[in-house]
Amino acid sequence: MLYREAGDFKTSYREDGQTFPIRLDRWGYYAVLAVAFGIVPFLINDYWASAVLVPFLIYAVAAMGLNILTGYAGQVSLGTGGFMAVGAYAVYKLMTAFPEVNIVLHILLAGGITAIVGMVFGLPSLRIKGFYLAVATLAAQFFLVWLFNKVPWFYNYSASGQITAPERTLLGYAITGPASSAAVKYLVCLCFAVVLAWVARNLTRGTLGRKWMAIRDMDIAAEIIGVNPLTAKLSAFAVSSFFVGIAGALLFAVYLGAAEVGEAFGINKSFLVLFMIIIGGLGSVFGSFAGAAFMVLLPVLLKNLLVGGFGWPTNLAAHIELMIVGGLIILFLIVEPHGLARLWRLAKEKLRLWPFPH
Amino acid sequence: MLDRTEGYTTPDGRQIGGVLMELKDITLRFGGVVAIKEISFDIREGEIRAIIGPNGAGKSSMLNVISGFYHPQDGEVWFKGRRRPPMRPYQVARLGIARTFQNIALFDGMTVLDNIMTGRLNKMRSGLLSQALWWGAAEREEVENRAEVEKIIDFLEIQNIRKTPVGRLPYGLKKRVELARALAAEPGLLLLDEPMAGMNVEEKEDMSRFILDVNDEFGTTICLIEHDMGVVMDLSDRVVVMDYGRKIGDGTPDQVRSNQEVIDAYLGVAHD
């Protein structure tokens, strides 16, 4: 009964266009932010950070990136893993080449470099759509992984072929390298995720977002109202790759610490992020977070339940887990193709009217 | 024949200006098929110009030539006294030519409001950074353009559906939203491809009223294709009649109605 627009009058177009038009939603959002910034950092331990929270936040950024491209602009991409690798290797090269420059700047620059690479691989989208574009981006995935394996310059000629993040500090706290604490890693990723979510929301509700959605929904009509398909599609690739690149940089530098390209950024990663946005909801910033949470949390929950609860052997649990995740993905595609974001929206619609049915 | 440069006054007293768009000897071929054959006509500022003809006469192709989807093999398109080079549709849109489609071409995943806002994309100038931070120009533009869009929403009486996703609307309203989106661009020339196709009498009356109001209030020049003869004859100031890609008549509704060739095309000719 608290969840109502009633009495919450909008007297300007600015207010009418806000992200959370319902007061309770707004409060809920501020409450979540307050808990995430004010309480969680004091409670967090290594297990929670490395198993749940840090990967969730990083994948949420990647999912937002892919969602901008696929959910908002309608361009299918299977190259997410490859673009994350670009972000990771870019940040690695920058960290080692310019140790005195702030790591945050490096991560942002890595995003920028990925944006440029993304635009180059987005060029085929001007000619091809759908499945064919997916295959073209798949080529990007394999090419980029091959490139980072093949050219020793990218991994600084290290003997193992791996890249390892050196220690870098921000305000005196180590955020990369083995000395970094769980709370610091979490806070860094949280800051990136929150700021990028806000940026994603701003971009998608404004002019650029409308251009992307126009191209997605009907490209002919988009062109007739004056949308240049070239700039609209390439800007979607650029912004998307910027997000994905930052996610890749964080995954390598903050979360993994060391990475081998085929393992950390292989085709599996592309599919993982794609599943996240399908389950979370295409064309929704919230859906990116929901999908990332689902895909990160589910294996952890299942493992705790099967191994910890039922006492099954670990290898059996691991296989069952694969089957359950696969089954759930199929279930989602059939029952709710618009994902968790849509379920959430429906729940809110119901809540708005509750206790009345209509 | 009407004077080619001066305007004229319609029977209901509206003053029509000079030539806004002129098509000269347009020929459009698809392989061996000639869709449009050496057609010339003009559209004057402030008038409602209709293109009629039987199915397959080349009317929609004509509209597609004007809006830049098709590039004619021969002929010239003149707009506002200048010859228009071959252009992509989005460049044509930036000249101030908006259109609607025979089969509605709205953005189904977006709300009515967002759909109409897309009509104003060409008025938006804010940069990427400003949009990303929702600061300064981006927010200001959003509010200013929203105000303009609200005027159009009021004008077309679709206030109650502004936040509804377009996919959920009935056909007649979709047509109206599409008109709204075209109007949001504040076009100098508005092209309507069968605005009343598939509508019932009541919806047709509404749509006719809106077309007349648009012309009257904003002074928008309108070029429309329509099959309903009653509507065409009532609405338009001048009519072009096409048949098999050729122009067989051009003039006021009364002139066209009494044109023998037009009567033959519509009613058929006795072969003896």
pLDDT 10s digits, A162-201: 888 888 888 888 888 777 888 889 999 999 999 999 999 9
Interface test with B, best of A11, A205, A225 (most B CBs within 10 A): A225
Q: Which domain holds residue A202?
A: 22-264
Contact call for B143 and A13, based on CB within 8 A: yes
Contact status, residue A229 vs residue A74, Cβ threshold 8 Å: no
pLDDT value at B128 more than 90? no
| Domain assignment of residue A319, yes or no | no
CA atoms within 13 A on the CB side of A77: 40
Confirm whether A228 is domain-assigned: yes
Asked if A117 contacts A83 with a C-beta cutoff of 8 angstroms, the reply is: yes
* In-domain check, residue A28: yes
A326: Cβ contacts below 8 Å, ≥ 6 apart: none
In a domain, A314, yes or no: no
A247 has pLDDT over 50 = yes
Does any domain span residue A52?
yes
In the prediction, which pLDDT does B262 show?
Answer: 83
Q: Is the pLDDT of residue A6 over 80?
A: no
Q: Which residues of B touch A202 (CB under 8 A)?
A: 131-134, 138
With beta carbons under 8 A apart, name residues in chain B contacting A203.
Answer: 131-132
In a domain, A134, yes or no: yes
Chain B residues with CB inside 8 Å of A217's CB?
106-110
How many interface pairs between A and B have CB atoms less than 8 angstroms apart?
Answer: 109
pLDDT in tens, A38-71: 888 888 888 888 888 999 999 999 999 999 999 9
pTM of the model: 0.89
Asked whether the beta carbons of residue A226 and residue B181 sit closer than 8 angstroms, the reply is: no
> Using one digit for the tens of pLDDT, what is the confidence trace for A215-224?
999 988 999 9
Q: How confident is the model at residue A80 (pLDDT cuts 50, 70, 90)?
A: very high
Whether A11 has its CB under 8 Å from any CB of chain B: the answer is no
In a domain, A324, yes or no: no
Average pLDDT over residues A301-327: 84
Looking at the complex, does the CB of residue A206 fall below 8 Å from at least one CB of chain B? yes
Q: Is residue A291 part of a domain?
A: no
Residue A81 has pLDDT above 90, yes or no: yes
Is a pLDDT exceeding 60 seen at residue B224? yes
Q: Is the peptide bond before A355 cis (omega within 30 degrees of 0)?
A: yes
Number of folded domains that form chain A: 1
Between the CA atoms of B199, B202, B204 and B209, what dihedral angle is there, to the nearest 10 degrees? Answer: -150
